[in-house]
Amino acid sequence: MPAHPIDFDIQANLFSTPEGLAIFDEKNRFQGWLDFEAALAAAQGELGLIPPEAASAIQAKASIEHLDLEAVRLDYTTNRNSLVPIVKALRQACGPYGDYVHHGATTQDAIDTGQALQLKAVFALVQRDLRQIEDRLLKLAAEHRQLPMIGRTHSQQAIPISLGLKFAVWLQEINRHGDRLQALTSRALTGQLGGAVGTMAALGPHGREVATLTMTKLGLKASIAPWHTARDTSAETGSFFAMLTSSAAKIANEIFQLGKTEVMELREPAPAGKSAGSSTMPHKRNPVLCQRIVVLSSHVRALAQVLMEAMLHENERDPRALWSEWLAMPQSCIYTLTALDYLKSVLFDLEIFPERMLANLHLQQDAIASEWLMFTLSPVIGKTRAHAKISQCLDLASSCGRSVREILVNDQELSDCLQHVDLTLLDHPETYIGLAPQIVDDVIRQINQKRNG
């Protein structure tokens, strides 16, 4: 009976992906803890701290299928420790060697290390998705480096840009997230082995060697000092996902806005069936994925806040903070992976309507060339005078429904100034895209250099 939309069975993968669910699946979570126990025993065996037979037995049995999960389930109904029922079942499975299980470690050592293993898997998927999105945007930016459309500020038409420039700005943002992930990876994929209050007291004099070896076996970094109460990397991970999904939401919202009926310059691709429309309005095709991305990002931002608050640990360990992290981190990861998955679908088959772009760009006719006019007149009458004069002409043009050109040529002062000026641009404002194509080229070149270098 899945009650959380993450786990919905019938409307499956609405706010999740199969990959994300697999990482945070309960049994996989337990398996991470068991992997920790196995690596710990192996390290302790190699260093001669526990008998080699014990180390081998623990490694052989530290797998979810060797445990009596019914017993574990029952145990959890009375035992309030998060790890003990699992450790108990492992001990049981290891028979005479059971005493050597979880030797010198504390509950949080196993659980934090398990979470680091989950994050490692998540980061690999995020990196893959970022790369694919970047690839797609590289292609889109190059293809449309010169395709004119109107730029908008304050939700009002401003002056032309190229669609490629819009893509290039997204591309840079995504690329920066790649850099952030790399930096984060170097900090966040660190295991935990410190014992009850981080002193390694029960791990014996070779505790530090045990920790290093254990983490090497798990493919994680060993932490020099315990981080039971230092949750900055968890909070950083949450914040990174918040930023990443917010960028995704920015892109999704832009496509949503540019796909409004009256605008219709970009459109989210249609689904394979015809399920995205309305149950009661047969003509409708809704940008469903774009909206889902926005929803997901809003939750990931809220979860980042929770992860930030979980930094306020007290003393040497503080479950009030830790447990809120346990609840927030899986959601944050699953939603992020889902948002990226949706964004890939949207971008891979994005519909682009160059004709509507051109038509919208000409909506205000030659008024859209006001900046060009101002800079054409500025050398002659000064920029301030030009701004004021053009504003007047624009008002006149719109109030009497004439073109700006007509007003200009009938204005004594301006017609003199413009006598030798080529006014073709007034008919073709779409050519006023500045250095947009060159900026696109620079962005593409820079990213390619980064990839090759």
Partner 1 sequence: MTHCCPASHIIDSRFFADGYGTDEARQVFCDYRRMQRWLDVEATLAQCQAELGIIPSQAAAAMIKTAKLELLDISAIKADIAKTGHSLIPLLKEWQRVTEKSAGQFIHYGATTQDIQDTAQSLELKDVTAIVQRDLAAIISLLARLADSNRDLVTIGRSHGQHALPTTMGLKMAGWLDETLRNSTRLEACRERLLVAQLFGGVGTMAALSEQGLPLLDSFAKNLGLAAPPSCWHSSRDRIAEFTGILALITGGLARIANEICQLARNEIGELTEPFIFGQIGSTTMPHKKNPELCEQVVVLARLVKANAGTSLDTLCNEHERDYRAVRLEWVALTEASIFSCAALRLMKSILGGLSINKSRIKENLDRFAVLISTEALMFLLGEKIGKQSAHTLIYEASMGNSGPNQAELLDRLMACPEINRSFCREDLEQAIDPKRHTGLSGAIIDRVLSETKKSVQPPHFQNSVCPSRLTGICGCA
Q: Give the single-character DSSP code of 104.
A: T
How near is the Cβ of 258 to partner 1 at its closest, in Å?
10
Applying CB under 8 A, does 315 fall inside the site for partner 1?
A: no
Q: Is 264 left (phi over 0), alpha (psi -120 to 50) or beta?
A: left
Angle (deg, nearest 10), helices 26-46 and 207-218: 130
How near is the Cβ of 253 to partner 1 at its closest, in Å?
10
How near is the Cβ of 350 to partner 1 at its closest, in Å?
14
Of 237, 360, 426, 437, the one binding partner 1 (CB under 8 A) is 360
Q: Of 23 and 252, which CB lies nearer to partner 1 in the complex structure? A: 252
| Best CA proximity match to 298, nearest among 263, 252, 261 | 252
Q: Which of residues 253-282 bind partner 1 (CB under 8 A)?
A: 256-257, 259-264, 267, 274, 277-278, 280-282
Applying CB under 8 A, does 412 fall inside the site for partner 1?
A: no
Residue in this structure with the two tokens 């004021």, named with its chain if needed: 388
Q: Of 208 and 284, which CB lies nearer to partner 1 in the complex structure? A: 284
Tokens representing 257 are: 């806005």
CA dist., res. 110 & res. 95, Å (int): 21
How near is the Cβ of 276 to partner 1 at its closest, in Å?
9
Residue type, 106: T
Which x/- pattern, by CB under 8 A, does the window 133-172 give for partner 1?
-------------------xxxxxxxx-------------
Of 380, 394, 417, 423, the one binding partner 1 (CB under 8 A) is 394
How near is the Cβ of 136 to partner 1 at its closest, in Å?
22
| Sign of the four-CA dihedral 78, 81, 86, 90 | negative
Q: Which of residues 277-306 bind partner 1 (CB under 8 A)?
A: 277-278, 280-288, 291
Residue in this structure with the two tokens 């949503």, named with its chain if needed: 256
Instruction: Please give the C-alpha separations between residue 426 and each of 73, 162, 373, 422, 437, in angstroms, as whole numbers.
Output: 75, 18, 9, 9, 21
Tokens representing 451 are: 């990839």
Q: Are 119 and 193 in contact (CB under 8 A)?
A: no
Residue type, 276: A
Q: Are 373 and 422 in contact (CB under 8 A)?
A: no
Q: Of 142 and 394, which CB lies nearer to partner 1 in the complex structure? A: 394
Of 120, 344, 356, 402, the one binding partner 1 (CB under 8 A) is 356
Applying CB under 8 A, does 413 fall inside the site for partner 1?
A: no
Instruction: Please give the C-alpha separations between residue 357 and each of 141, 148, 152, 361, 435, in angstroms, as whole numbers.
Output: 16, 7, 12, 6, 19
Q: Which of residues 83-112 bind partner 1 (CB under 8 A)?
A: none
Which x/- pattern, by CB under 8 A, does the window 198-237 give for partner 1?
----------------------------------------
Alpha-carbon torsion, ordered 233, 234, 239, 243, to 10 deg:
90
Q: Of 221 and 285, which CB lies nearer to partner 1 in the complex structure? A: 285
Q: Of 212 and 324, which CB lies nearer to partner 1 in the complex structure? A: 324
Burial class (CB in 10 A: 0-12, 13-18, 19+), 272: exposed
Q: Of 344 and 385, which CB lies nearer to partner 1 in the complex structure? A: 385
Q: Other CB atoms closer than 10 Å to residue 260's CB: what's the count?
A: 10
| Sign of the four-CA dihedral 67, 71, 77, 81 | negative
Applying CB under 8 A, does 431 fall inside the site for partner 1?
A: no
Tokens representing 93 are: 């499975």
Residue in this structure with the two tokens 């992906």, named with its chain if needed: 17
Q: Of 136 and 389, which CB lies nearer to partner 1 in the complex structure? A: 389
In the chain, the N- to C-terminal Cα span, in Å, equals: 51
Tell me if residue 324 is catalytic: no
Q: Of 227 and 342, which CB lies nearer to partner 1 in the complex structure? A: 342
How near is the Cβ of 340 to partner 1 at its closest, in Å?
22
Of 391, 410, 446, 448, the one binding partner 1 (CB under 8 A) is 391
Applying CB under 8 A, does 130 fall inside the site for partner 1?
A: no
Residue type, 103: H
- Catalytic pick from 154, 155, 279, 283? 154
How near is the Cβ of 263 to partner 1 at its closest, in Å?
5
Q: Of 27 and 320, which CB lies nearer to partner 1 in the complex structure? A: 320
- Catalytic pick from 186, 278, 391, 415? 278
Q: How many CA atoms lie within 13 A of 219 on its CB side?
A: 10
Residue in this structure with the two tokens 């920015």, named with its chain if needed: 250
Tell me if residue 278 is catalytic: yes
Applying CB under 8 A, does 71 fall inside the site for partner 1?
A: no
Q: Are 389 and 377 in contact (CB under 8 A)?
A: yes
Applying CB under 8 A, does 387 fall inside the site for partner 1?
A: yes
How near is the Cβ of 149 to partner 1 at its closest, in Å?
12
Task: Kindly list the residues in this chain that would bind partner 1 in the complex (CB under 8 A).
Answer: 152-159, 256-257, 259-264, 267, 274, 277-278, 280-288, 291, 353, 356, 360, 363-364, 367-368, 370-371, 373-374, 387, 390-391, 394-395
Positions annotated as catalytic residues are: 154, 278
